[in-house]
Chain A
Amino acid sequence: MMSMELIPDANEYMARNPIIMKVTASSMVSYDVKVGGVTVFSGNGQDSFSVNLAEVFRAYFQKTPKWVASPSKPWLMTLEDIEAVRLNGTVYIEDSSYGMGRNFKVYNGGVSERLYRSLMDNGSDIFKAKIMNMYANFFWTVRSSDWRIVMKETELSPLPFLTPSGYTLFVKERVTGQQVSVVFSTDTVAAIDFSEVRRYFYETYGTLANVFDVLIGNRFSCQVVIEQAQAAWERYTLKWRNSFGVYERMELVGNAKVSPFGEDDVETYQVYDSVTDRYSLRRDRLKVQNTLSLSTGVIRPAMFMALQDLLQSDEVYLQGFYSSDVRVIPSVEGMQIPVKGTEPMAFDVKLQFCDSETLAIDDISATGFSRGGVFSEEFSEEFD
């Protein structure tokens, strides 16, 4: 006889939180862990043993979440490949006479150990409390854990969520009360792009709205507020993979100053000069590892946790510096966050570029070598 249980007992798991398989048997048991039906890990165990499967699944989240707008609803986005955020997992065990298996879904990301323990103590998990809780803030954002999500107008990015199958989702703007809706018939991962929702209301009704209520059926779920950003001469954004495994954006302002040269010793060597019969000094091209200093601008206490999530993230990109994203390692020196913060604060962020360069040349775009027209976009070639 043998038995298997998954702890916690659920159909959905986060890959950065434990997925404990506990097997009780009286003989040798072999087990297979499958992703999308393909065996990716196998093992054996004797008698009673436990394995944390989360580590296995974590290694198989290698794709980048790319959103594609729905043709009929440009504000609703779906993933090009859902395996970027969700894997179909299976675990199968068998001994010499009997086999049994469990299917479940594993999502990229996780919650803090403190929250995980607290939810478990209350017989809940992040899916019941947030992700599949239709009448709360179910979006995969770390900006807010309450019912109001605030995004600066310069930080808009699609807000992902698990679609509530069989329900209708409404987004209602608060200025004139117009709304858009979508009915979900399948259990999948989608996202709402609130910049496109705003554009839709403007183009359809001439209304420019920045406060949106999200409802499931007739019931209120949460509110999304697009906050005014300050005018800034220089503005960049950091795109980071948040704790839920999807990208969010935070703006950085200020006068960016690059420190290309570190304090590393210059590598030199000597070359014999036969004319003077002396050794002459040479050096290789210098390796440059850019470091950038910027400010977050003034952010409200609700965003302190998002900033912490950004600083903890293993995948952060700087946008707006070059024509393409630059992977960076962010840090805030001597960061101190008030425990009961009530006042907005600004933080100085240091960004170390991940790639070092030995050659320096500015960006060359696809049309970089051609002379642009006088009013290139507005006027025809004949006019120029």
Chain B
Amino acid sequence: MEKQKFSNIVTAPEIASQSSVLYKKWKEDHVGSQKDFYIFMTVPSVERDRFLARFERQRLVSGAVVSNIITATEV
């Protein structure tokens, strides 16, 4: 058993209203439909982390829950 030192609940990536803009950016180096983009965004992968790292995110903290809302603005 190993111990880790964090206890916040980080939500899976969230998008407020710019999913179509993010989809277009995703299409620049991926092949697939909106449906594929949805699967890409909802399945954890190194590729997803790499893609999301390009964008600014808005953090909303509600108690122990930290929401990561991805914006379409590139870092």
Chain A positions within 8 Å of B, measured between CB atoms, are: 148, 150, 153-154, 174-176, 195, 198-199, 202-203, 205-211, 225-232, 298, 300-301, 336, 342-348
Counting from the closest, the 9 A-B pairs by CB-CB distance are: A208-B15, A210-B11, A206-B19, A153-B12, A229-B44, A228-B12, A210-B12, A231-B46, A298-B4
Q: Are A345 and B17 in contact (CB under 8 A)?
A: no
CB neighbours (8 Å) of A176 from chain B are: 16-17
A226 vs B10: C-alpha distance when bound (angstroms): 9
- B3-18 interface bits toward A, Cβ cutoff 8 Å, 1 = contact, 0 = none: 1111101111111111
Contacts beyond the supplied A175-B69, A208-B13: 8 A-B pairs with Cβ under 8 Å: A148-B65, A206-B18, A210-B14, A211-B14, A226-B12, A230-B44, A231-B44, A346-B2
Say whether B1 faces chain A, with CB atoms less than 8 Å apart. Answer: yes
Q: Are A343 and B11 in contact (CB under 8 A)?
A: no
A300 vs B3: C-alpha distance when bound (angstroms): 10
CB neighbours (8 Å) of A226 from chain B are: 11-12
Q: Are A207 and B16 in contact (CB under 8 A)?
A: yes
CB neighbours (8 Å) of B60 from chain A are: 174
Chain B positions within 8 Å of A, measured between CB atoms, are: 1-7, 9-20, 38, 41-46, 48-49, 60, 62-63, 65, 67-69
CB neighbours (8 Å) of A210 from chain B are: 11-14, 67
A229 vs B46: C-alpha distance when bound (angstroms): 11
B50, chain A: closest CB distance, angstroms: 10
A336 vs B62: C-alpha distance when bound (angstroms): 31
Q: Are A345 and B2 in contact (CB under 8 A)?
A: yes
Q: Are A199 and B38 in contact (CB under 8 A)?
A: yes
Q: Are B12 and A229 in contact (CB under 8 A)?
A: yes
Q: Are A153 and B67 in contact (CB under 8 A)?
A: no
Nearest A residue to B6, CB-CB: A344
- A175, A205, A226, A230: most-surrounded residue (chain B CB, <10 A): A175
A170, chain B: closest CB distance, angstroms: 18
